[in-house]
């Protein structure tokens, strides 16, 4: 299972805002191999941004509670691949 970006980063004594400009600069300087992935991008979303993403993906709010318990196998693996995919930072 993939860890959050702060768990993968080794900037010493970091007290920066995760994903902020200072965080990006420090990561590029100290541990450039640590890149933001789709999971990190989603983790940083507020509720409205996440709701928009889920709606674009065709999520049915009435089924979301049950969906987490019923999906296994290939569908889950494809979702994990998506979440671990690197994203370009602005």
Q: What is the pLDDT of residues 62-78, one digit of tens each?
A: 676 665 566 667 777 88
Q: What is the pLDDT of residue 23?
A: 76
Look at 82 and 12; give whichever has higher pLDDT: 82
Q: What is the pLDDT of residue 59?
A: 75
Q: How confident is the model over 34-51, as a mean pLDDT? A: 83
Number of other CB atoms surrounding residue 38 within 10 Å: 16
Q: What is the pTM of this model?
A: 0.56
Q: How confident is the model over 20-28, as a mean pLDDT? A: 78
Cα 61 to Cα 21, 44, 65, 78, distances in angstroms: 34, 21, 8, 21
- The answer for residues whose C-beta is within 8 angstroms of residue 24's C-beta and 6 or more apart is 89
Q: How confident is the model over 51-65, as a mean pLDDT? A: 76
């Amino acid at each position: 299972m993939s860890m959050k970006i702060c768990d993968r980063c080794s900037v010493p004594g970091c007290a920066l805002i995760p994903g902020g400009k200072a965080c990006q600069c420090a990561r590029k300087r100290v541990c450039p191999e640590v890149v933001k992935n789709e999971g990190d991008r989603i983790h940083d979303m507020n509720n409205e941004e996440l709701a928009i993403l889920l709606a674009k993906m065709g999520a049915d709010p009435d089924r979301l509670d049950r969906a987490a318990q019923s999906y296994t196998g290939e569908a889950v693996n494809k979702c994990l691949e998506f979440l671990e995919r690197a994203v370009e930072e602005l």
